[in-house]
Chains A and B, each alone.
Chain A
Amino acid sequence: MVNDGSTSGAGGANGSKEIGDEYNGNKSKLNRRRFIQAAGVGAAATGLAGCLGGGPGGSSEGIPSEVTLGVLAPAPENNPIGAAIANSAELAAQKINNSGDVLGDADNVSVSIKNTEESPSTGRQRYRELTLDEGAHMTTGVFTSEVLLQLMDPIAQQKTVHMTTGAASPKASNQVNENYDKYKYHFRSGPINGYHLGQNMVDFLEAKGDDLGWESVAILVENYEWTNPVQQAIEDHIGDLDVEVAMEERYASGTQNFGPIYDSVEDSGADAAFVAMAHTGTPAIVQWAQDQRPFEFGGIHVLSQLPAYYGMTNGACRFTVTQNTATPQSDLTDKTLPYVEDYNSAYDSFPVYTGYITYDAIMQWANVATELGTVNSDEVVTGLEESSFTGTAGSLDYYGKDHEFAHDIKYNFSTDSSPEEGVNPVFQQWQETDGSGTQEVLHPSYVSSADYQAPPWV
């Protein structure tokens, strides 16, 4: 049992007992090391240093007695993606506090969670609160590229390491590459960037095309910032495959009625809708299933990555395929299942992809800071660049500063062996077993749990 009950979880989104109502401003602390009270003066001094500019990560030396991790999550009290970020940050802090080795010089590691409300302006405000008011030594989280891109300049100003765990736009890494000294504090621990997401979809189609039987596809992409590079990568690479693109549509953000779009897919004769959907995913999937459209469905469907999604859609997501960072059953590394079990024990639910990534990001940052003996951001940046850290989702290695995707996690596609460097996302299909839905892994083979099932109505 990891959670001793003193922590506050973002439970409302995932069925855990506690409601995380403190996320709009207050700090949640882990008080396992009770003698922290004696170190209060040190903590206050650290906070004051943060207020004086440059952020504590830039001005302090060594490991302070009180380490603050700043977390930016969308509506962690009711959004499963935000809840996974918040809960996993709490778990990571607890793990660090429980270990004698990681950040051992610190008396206490605390987590401060702020709600970005998926709004760029709110995200900026909360980021400043974390770094200026609360003196966070590193920040992590952030869902949606729209929020992340508005944080790049504040991150550069505060010179505090930020590890993104839920936004995919490669514009951020392009900024690091083009103006390294200014933007070097940004790392993307996951998911793989938007361009690689698209490439990953095509790689999967190439590797599993025979099993899927998709000889022609209709590319359906929602019109949001994150899908621009995804679509670009699909267009760049799908021509290399023996697959016909019967139709391609970038549909309006906020689309609720997919009837006309699906009519076009049917008319195109495509075997499958090859999708990149996040915000519009639920109406798309429910209408596809209820209408029993005569084409299959797969690609990147972010909401299908949620372990509770089968119940949320009354089973409508059955037979759909999506890329995912990991699933509760995928034994990607020796840390994956222990993390999943700890999470489940603490929050009575399973993590979403942002959970794995946030946990990994914090553990990597803490390990690098421990090795260096400092939380100084400039030194930690160098440490992270040189680091290769095995996390729950794979190996966390970053592209160098001269790479177009500088400081993004490395993408390494492999069908049958776990790559030594970088991450190799899984592709899952929702299947039904004994009346309940499970996220069965189709790819890669070393963690796969089932063969692909086509919808019976196709």
Chain B
Amino acid sequence: MATLSVALTIIVQAAMISALYALIAIGFTLIFGVGGVLNLAHGATITMGAFSAYYAGQLGLGIPGAILASVAIPALFAGLLYLGMVKRLEEEPIMVMITTLVVSVVIEQAIVVFEGTTNRSLPQLIEGQFSIAGATFQNLLGVMFVVSWIIIGLLFLFVNYTKTGKGILAVSMSHKGASLVGIKSSRINLITWIIAGAFAGIAGLFLGSWLTASFAMGQAQLVLSFSIVVVGGIGSIRGSVIGAYLIGFLEIATTNLVSSSLQGLAPLVVLVVVLLVKPEGLFGREFAE
């Protein structure tokens, strides 16, 4: 019975953590899949989401204000980042990497200047706990799991059943082809960046609410995003979700069954192994020609 209980605890814990990891990685893979560029400011956008919620709390805007701020501000930022910088450099992916890396550093330093290096506590989104198989979990994590799947579901519906979504799919397959049928790829890219920014903001909200927010919190998330999309196959949303769950389960199993000091190691080990053994990832690049 004890073994069953431990196994159930690991499964529930891992399912919830993986849901967060999926949220973290989807935006990153979406931008690569559609625009063909790597957004190294993705981690900083997550940090921005967390601090937007923090500031909303400080301003007394309550939980609804914190949620709204954590979604709207990163989405707006991502949109402006695309229009102001990335759009001009789209044909030069290396320049996009450098530019977004610099932006990421600027955001982190700005937080250090204004808030310092001390972690900040966000407004508690949901109080209380629930129990499964004798183990207790925060309601926050349960809600995070549900929200993650709702967002993933909505994204699939959006991409597959709306005109704009189909446009995203078309641009991800071929910029030229999409242009020939009258789809403006820059508009589609802008929408993609805004969606990715909003997702990163939601991930930052949950991450910050769960673990607290700090200027460097996005760094580990960027590494995690890399690992997840490499495992799943760069550019594949389905692969990212599966990659997130694979890494989430591996991490929870390692920390529970081996040592708690090994947290953070699993994504890196998986990243190296996949790059060596199956560099195209589990699902290749499903949007690729």
Residues of A within 8 A of B (CB): 13, 75, 77-80, 118, 249, 251-252, 254-257, 259-261, 263-264, 279, 281-283, 286-287, 290-292, 303, 312-314, 316
Q: For the complex, is B174 an interface residue (Cβ under 8 Å from A)?
A: no
CA distance A118 to B256 in the complex (A): 34
Q: List 24 A-B contacts (CB under 8 A).
A: A13-B116, A78-B114, A78-B115, A79-B116, A79-B117, A249-B260, A251-B260, A252-B261, A255-B263, A256-B212, A256-B220, A259-B255, A260-B256, A279-B117, A281-B119, A282-B118, A282-B120, A282-B212, A283-B119, A290-B138, A290-B140, A312-B118, A312-B121, A316-B121
- Residues B121 and A292 in contact, CB atoms below 8 Å apart: no
Set of chain A residues within 8 Å of B256, measured between Cβ atoms:
260, 263
- Residues B260 and A256 in contact, CB atoms below 8 Å apart: no
- Residues B119 and A282 in contact, CB atoms below 8 Å apart: yes
Set of chain A residues within 8 Å of B119, measured between Cβ atoms:
281-283, 286
Which residue of chain B is the closest to A77 with respect to CB atoms? B113
Set of chain A residues within 8 Å of B217, measured between Cβ atoms:
256
Scoring B residues 193 to 222 as 1 if CB is less than 8 Å from chain A, else 0, what string do you get?
Answer: 000000000000000001110101100100
CA distance A290 to B114 in the complex (A): 26
Residues of B within 8 A of A (CB): 13, 112-121, 123-124, 129, 136, 138, 140, 210-212, 214, 216-217, 220, 255-256, 260-261, 263-264
Q: A256-B212, A260-B263, A282-B212 are in contact. List 9 more A-B contacts (CB 8 A).
A: A78-B115, A79-B116, A252-B264, A254-B216, A256-B211, A256-B214, A279-B117, A292-B136, A303-B118
CA distance A292 to B123 in the complex (A): 17
- Residues A249 and B120 in contact, CB atoms below 8 Å apart: no
- Residues A79 and B118 in contact, CB atoms below 8 Å apart: yes
CA distance A261 to B259 in the complex (A): 9
Set of chain B residues within 8 Å of A283, measured between Cβ atoms:
119, 211-212
CA distance A220 to B258 in the complex (A): 18
Set of chain B residues within 8 Å of A251, measured between Cβ atoms:
260-261
Which residue of chain A is the closest to B209 with respect to CB atoms? A290
CA distance A314 to B129 in the complex (A): 18
CA distance A249 to B136 in the complex (A): 23
Set of chain B residues within 8 Å of A290, measured between Cβ atoms:
124, 138, 140, 210
CA distance A86 to B52 in the complex (A): 29
Q: With A256-B220, A314-B124 as known contacts, state yes or no: A291 contacts B116, CB within 8 Å.
A: no
Which residue of chain A is the closest to B135 with respect to CB atoms? A263
- Distance (Å) between the CB of B252 and the closest chain A CB? 8
CA distance A79 to B117 in the complex (A): 8
- Distance (Å) between the CB of A270 and the closest chain B CB? 14
CA distance A196 to B120 in the complex (A): 30
Q: With A13-B116, A75-B116 as known contacts, state yes or no: A287 contacts B260, CB within 8 Å.
A: no
Which residue of chain A is the closest to B122 with respect to CB atoms? A314
- Distance (Å) between the CB of A376 and the closest chain B CB? 38
- Residues A286 and B116 in contact, CB atoms below 8 Å apart: no
- Distance (Å) between the CB of B98 and the closest chain A CB? 25
- Residues B120 and A264 in contact, CB atoms below 8 Å apart: no
Q: With A252-B261, A263-B256 as known contacts, state yes or no: A287 contacts B211, CB within 8 Å.
A: yes
Q: With A291-B138, A292-B129 as known contacts, state yes or no: A282 contacts B260, CB within 8 Å.
A: no
Closest 9 CB pairs of A and B: A260-B260, A282-B119, A260-B255, A78-B116, A283-B212, A313-B121, A79-B116, A261-B260, A256-B211
Set of chain A residues within 8 Å of B113, measured between Cβ atoms:
77-78
Set of chain B residues within 8 Å of A249, measured between Cβ atoms:
260-261
Set of chain B residues within 8 Å of A259, measured between Cβ atoms:
13, 255
CA distance A279 to B118 in the complex (A): 7
Q: With A256-B220, A282-B212, A314-B124 as known contacts, state yes or no: A75 contacts B261, CB within 8 Å.
A: no
CA distance A281 to B118 in the complex (A): 9
Which residue of chain B is the closest to A82 with respect to CB atoms? B116
Set of chain B residues within 8 Å of A80, measured between Cβ atoms:
118
- Distance (Å) between the CB of B56 and the closest chain A CB? 13
CA distance A257 to B264 in the complex (A): 10
Set of chain A residues within 8 Å of B13, measured between Cβ atoms:
259
CA distance A388 to B115 in the complex (A): 39
Which residue of chain B is the closest to A281 with respect to CB atoms? B119
CA distance A290 to B210 in the complex (A): 8
- Residues A257 and B211 in contact, CB atoms below 8 Å apart: yes
Set of chain A residues within 8 Å of B220, measured between Cβ atoms:
256
